[in-house]
Amino acid sequence: MMDTEVDRELLEKIADLVGKPVGAFNIRKDTGCDGRQSTEHIEITGKTDKAGIDIRVKPGTEGETCHIPVIITKPGVQEMVYNDFYIGENSNVNIVAGCGIHNCGDQTSRHDGVHTFYVGKNSHVHYTEKHYGDGDGKGGKIMNPQTIVYLEEGASIQMDTTQIRGIDSTKRYTKIVCGKNAEAVITERLLTHGEQVAESDMEIVLDGENSRGRVISRSVAQDHSQQLFKPLVTGNAKCFGHVQCDSIIMGDAKIRSIPEIAANCTEAQLIHEAAIGKIAGDQLLKLQTLGLTEEEAEDFILKGFLA
């Protein structure tokens, strides 16, 4: 486990892992299992019918973290992985996922993952997912994550996703269905550069009374990269939903942002906002007056924006 420098760098980038994780974990490397550990409260088992794992969190589990990073270090690896999470009632857990691809070859490496969460009553999940690619090969680095979440009464999820850099193509799909008094908060951070393309479809379905959903998406498109965002919040009951998309466009990049809200109930209160713009000249000038160079000012603004 974590045999090479590449392994260690990828795991630190995508899951902040330095050394063996504490608590439950499953490290997937080049389509195989590179390490797995269950705990008293979190059980991880491999699927027998297809690639992937089941993570079962016992009811009442409080404050435990489960790491399930995926790394691909060989060119030409292509995989489809299914991970299912069963979160028992009255739990509060952190799930740290993420995928890193190191591709030094000419063949495309690709990871497609489907994560499905079943979050029990009054449980809270903090789900973190970071994507990163590196390597100087010509082979593409592709990631297509799907995350489906079902929140029972009073359950909540805070989903923080970040595409750090280096992913040539991504097509994200996220769907969260909220029951009564459930809450979903998605913060998405995405950077594309070079000729990269990224597409993100999201849907929060507010089915339950007093459910709440919030999407906060921030992206930066540099060089010739292209991005497409389609967040949708649907209100089917007395609920509150808010979609906020902000993008910084640079170079010859292209961004389309299409936030949508749909109400099927008179008590649904839904709001959306979207903005695309370049870094404002006065922002750069202000930071230069504080002693930064123009390049440092730009980096500082982007770092803050995507933090």
**Chain residues that interact with other proteins, rule: CB under 8 A:** 218, 246, 280, 282-283, 285-294, 300-301, 304-307
- Is residue 261 within 8 A of residue 291, CB to CB? The reply is no
Residue closer to other proteins, measured from CB, 48 or 289: 289
Residue closer to other proteins, measured from CB, 122 or 283: 283
Output the six-digit token pair for 143: 């990631």
Residue closer to other proteins, measured from CB, 29 or 272: 272
To the nearest 10 degrees (0 to 180), the angle between helices 281-289 and 294-306 is 110
Least distance from C-beta 97 to other proteins, angstroms? 24
**d(C-alpha 285, C-alpha 293), whole Å:** 9
Least distance from C-beta 8 to other proteins, angstroms? 26
- Render 45-85 in DSSP notation, one character per residue: EE-SSSSEEEEEE-TT-EEEEEE--EEE-STT-EEEEEEEE
Least distance from C-beta 249 to other proteins, angstroms? 14
Residue closer to other proteins, measured from CB, 27 or 284: 284
Least distance from C-beta 193 to other proteins, angstroms? 18
Least distance from C-beta 264 to other proteins, angstroms? 31
Residue closer to other proteins, measured from CB, 16 or 246: 246
**d(C-alpha 229, C-alpha 139), whole Å:** 26
3-state secondary structure of 141: strand
| CA dist list (Å): 169 to 104, 150, 180, 187, 190 | 17, 27, 36, 20, 12
